[in-house]
Chain A
Amino acid sequence: MSSLFHPTVARLTYRALLGRRRAAILFALPVMLLIIAVAVRALTGADDATANTVLSGFALATMVPLIGVIAGTGAIGPEIDDGSVVYLLAKPVRRSTVIVTKLLVAIGVTVAFSAVPVLIAGFVLNGNSQQIAVAYALAAAVASVAYSALFLFLGTVTRHAVVVGLVYELVWEAVFGNLVPGARTLSVQQWALALAQKAGADGAITSDVGLTPAIVLLVVVTGGATWYAARRLKSLTLAGEE
């Protein structure tokens, strides 16, 4: 592990992610979730169906992917964009180390800003009845890992990583996922829900994907994206702004 983690790269990535305005939006999203959780609890009292609606409809479907996009692409995108990545690549650090370090930082940030607030919001909403809070926090954490890897990979492939990532989320997961049930099989959100289904009480949470395929797909996507991102970084060409 030591050869795959570089503290200086990690520190630089962490500062790039949580520097200035980027941090503001990362803080705003979880705060909003907590405000909604408190407001809903005050309005309706503890209710499992309500907790489900807020945590799956708002937290897992919208908030987690968005934080994933910001952290995942933000870990490498801006550096490639302004060309300063060449100074990093000129250092005697393995490219795979760079990618894995950046991925770990992105995962850490995403988990901290999504899974932890989801857990707190779950406890606020219904006091973890039917294990809903823990299950959704687990799903958010797993989704964070997959999203971070996926969007970090996108950051190395295209200069429009944010747009491509958002198209995947808004068009594929949200629109197609609602219209075409088959599209849900290929969505990080549903894979994470499959784990939540297992962790929560029987019938509390439902997913369209079985547990085994979900885990396999999660591992394949995360591993594959990381491997290919490292490969891309080995043969990176810098393009000018269009």
Chain B
Amino acid sequence: MPESTTAPTGGPGPAASIHDIGYRHYDGARLGRAYARRSLFVQSLRGAYGLGRSARTKVLPMILLAVMCVPAAIVVAVTVFTKAHDLPLEPTRYAIYLQAVIGLFLAAQAPQSVSRDLRFKTVPLYFSRPIERADYVAAKYAAMSCALFLLTALPLLILYVGALLAKLDFADQTGNFAQGLVSVALLSLLYAAIGLVIAALTPRRGFGVAAVIAVLTIPYAAVSAVQGIAYLQGNTDIIGWLGLFSPITLIDGVQSTFLGATTSAPDGIGPSTAAGVVHLLVVLGLIAGSLALLMRRYRKAGL
């Protein structure tokens, strides 16, 4: 019996061949790694606000964005109405006051950004494209940071525009606005790193949400309680150093040292310059450490 060339079984014998059955080749441009990374970034950033997803997923991020902006609008309205000479609220304090909203946004959106890829095992599909592990982590991190920056910078922009419309001092307001922007940029970078690394540990969305919130709020509550006690005991030296132990007080310490903000610690007792430098180093260390953990997390792309 003659050997059939289409026999499905048998090893690659001398008669085995691949038939050209007329499929057309792809002749278009290969868009490459940078394009894939940019696409992932854009998709993740849009996804954080529910754009390109179902209507129900838009509800929460949009409500949180509105909740962030409404107090700023009210502050502006009060300033204009009372003809005050300065905003009743420093821009740098704004994010500290509304930290619960920022925390909720991160807790809701960080898991949707990374946990679902893990849960539905789509991570290997990303890596079948011309992107590397570092590209995936960088795109997700940049997208989450940008989403948080939009959330925190938009109310500051409202405050700034409102202050200018109320004919407050231009140089003064611009300086405050710039300081506020630097502060929320740092906050966005820190929060995004913490949120993503926790969310990437679990494929369960609900648990990721709770874990992110726990890491953000529990240390803050603990630090506030201990700071309050230290203040009552007159032990004011330690108050500045206690801020090292929770994300939002880290930001608070950095901005009260370097960005001329008033601290939210009891009685406005901010960290000393040395403590402020340590605060900044811890923030940068946390960001770098979280990114390193994320890189480690995706070494095995499966689960």
Contact = CB atoms under 8 A, between A and B. Distances in A.
Interface of A: 21-22, 25, 28-29, 32, 36, 39-40, 43-44, 49-50, 53-54, 57-58, 61-63, 66, 69-70, 73-74, 77-78, 81, 160-163, 166-167, 170-171, 174-175, 241-242
B80 interface: no
Nearest 3 CB-CB pairings of A with B = A62-B221, A170-B100, A162-B209
Contacts of A62: 217-218, 221
B185 interface: no
B258 interface: no
5 contacts: A25-B214, A29-B218, A44-B229, A62-B221, A171-B104
A241 B116 contact: yes
B210 A69 contact: yes
A184 B225 CA distance: 20
Given A40-B229, A163-B60, A25 B100 contact: no
Interface in B20-79: 53-54, 56-57, 60
A71 to B, nearest CB: 10
A50 B235 CA distance: 13
B56 A77 contact: no
B233 A32 contact: no
Given A62-B221, A70-B210, A81 B226 contact: no
Interface in B197-214: 201-202, 204-207, 209-211, 213-214
Contacts of B222: 32, 36, 58
Given A21-B202, A241-B116, A53 B217 contact: no
Interface residues of B, number: 37
Nearest to B57: A242
Nearest to B238: A43
A170 B204 contact: no
B104 A50 contact: no
B87 interface: no
Given A21-B201, A58-B222, A241-B116, A170 B207 contact: no
B241 to A, nearest CB: 13
A62 B206 CA distance: 18
A54 B210 contact: no
Contact of A170 (B57, B104, B205, B226): B104
A49 B232 contact: yes
A53 B108 contact: no
Nearest to B215: A25
Most buried by A among B56, B104, B206, B230: B206
A42 to B, nearest CB: 12
Most buried by A among B60, B103, B104, B217: B217
B107 interface: yes
A9 to B, nearest CB: 20
Interface in B95-132: 100-101, 103-104, 107-108, 116, 120
A166 B232 contact: no
A74 B108 contact: no
Nearest to A45: B233
Most buried by B among A25, A57, A163: A163
Contacts of B202: 21
B57 A53 contact: no
